[in-house]
Amino acid sequence: MKKIVVPVDFSQQSEYALQVAVSLAKRYGSEILVLHMLELNQAMITSNEGVHPEQTVFLIKMAEKRFKDFLEKPYLKGVEVTPIIKHYKVFSEVNEVAKDHGAELIVMGSHGADGLTEIFVGSNAEKVVRNAEVPVIVVKGEMTDFRIERFVFACDFKLESVSAFIRAKAFSELLSAELNLVYINTPGDDFLSASDAYERINKFLHKANSSDEVVIHNDYSVEKGVLNYSEKNGADAIGIPTHGRKGLAHFFMGSIGEDIANHSKIPVVTFKITD
């Protein structure tokens, strides 16, 4: 893992993400690309109407100073850090920065759920996930010594998710993590008999050219099943596939992906489904 992108907005959540990236960077000798996108728009930068040029320069200089101060953390010592500033927020640029610099991972902070308020939906993290072609780790809490030793990948094992599974498997191998595959079987219209579930799983594994074992976990909902199985097995992170064009809202069905990201106590890693 040579390079890791960490978008920051100076919030506590973005510092949590930076701490996770530092843990990984120290373990794998990675460079961290810390990305800050200014709260400016194209009109402010290019137009003289309504905004004086000196005001725009002042705002940029203030943001640059704040960015520099933010990066003066003791835990960053010994880690190669490259600061990158974009003049305005375009969340697809996070993926562009990753592509341009050959980064293999994005680490993003998120508030997650706060009571009945689902902050993750429509949040910056969700927008980054929607555009990212590399895995995105979404973290919500402080983890000063982050590592993934046991990694659960939850999937519906439909053939369209094979590409995401291959990415997840490569990710687990990169981190030397134990990969646990799980299919969540639920009551109602989506229930599959054991033979039907294994038939679907076997077709999936055959297409993926994989001999990995898959556990079928029965639960009342996919979200509860993923979280309960991960907790029971001491997972350090949960992997889920996502359609880039639709974000987390179309993992499995409905809003299950965003619910998992909201309610999981451990980091969630997303893997884009590609054609």
DSSP, collapsed to helix, strand or coil, labels residue 225 as helix
Q: What is the tens place of the pLDDT at every residue in 8-57?
A: 988 888 899 999 999 999 999 999 999 998 766 554 555 555 555 677 77
| Cα distances (Å, whole numbers) of residue 26 to 91, 207, 235, 254 | 27, 36, 22, 38
Residues 6+ apart with CB under 8 A from 57: none
Look at residues 93, 113, 145 and tell me which one is the last residue of a structural domain.
145
Structure tokens at 127: 């927008």
| 97 lies in the same domain as 20 | yes
Cα separation of the two ends of the chain? 25
Residues 6+ apart with CB under 8 A from 73: 15, 18
pLDDT of 138 strictly over 80: yes
Cα dihedral sign, 221-226-227-231: positive
| 90 lies in the same domain as 214 | no
Residue 76 has a pLDDT of 93
Can you tell me the distance from the alpha carbon of 25 to that of 45, in angstroms, rounded to the nearest whole number?
A: 35
| 130 lies in the same domain as 189 | no
Q: Which ranges of 132-192 would DSSP assign to H, the alpha helix?
A: 162-174
| 259 lies in the same domain as 248 | yes
Look at residues 110, 145, 180 and tell me which one is the last residue of a structural domain.
145
| 101 lies in the same domain as 195 | no
| 115 lies in the same domain as 196 | no
Q: For residues 41, 44, 49 and 50, what is the CA-based torsion angle, rounded to 10 degrees?
A: 90
What CATH number does the domain containing 196 carry? 3.40.50.620
Structurally, the chain folds into a number of domains equal to 2
| 135 lies in the same domain as 236 | no
| 129 lies in the same domain as 3 | yes
Domain that holds residue 27: 1-145
pLDDT of 77 strictly over 50: yes
The rounded mean pLDDT for the chain is: 84
Residue 256 has a pLDDT of 73
Q: What is the tens place of the pLDDT at every residue in 150-179?
A: 999 999 999 999 999 999 999 999 899 999
- Structure letter (DSSP) for residue 150: E
Lowest mean pLDDT of 34-48, 88-102, 188-202, name the range: 34-48
| 141 lies in the same domain as 220 | no
| 121 lies in the same domain as 185 | no
| 77 lies in the same domain as 167 | no
| 112 lies in the same domain as 176 | no
Look at residues 145, 174, 203 and tell me which one is the last residue of a structural domain.
145
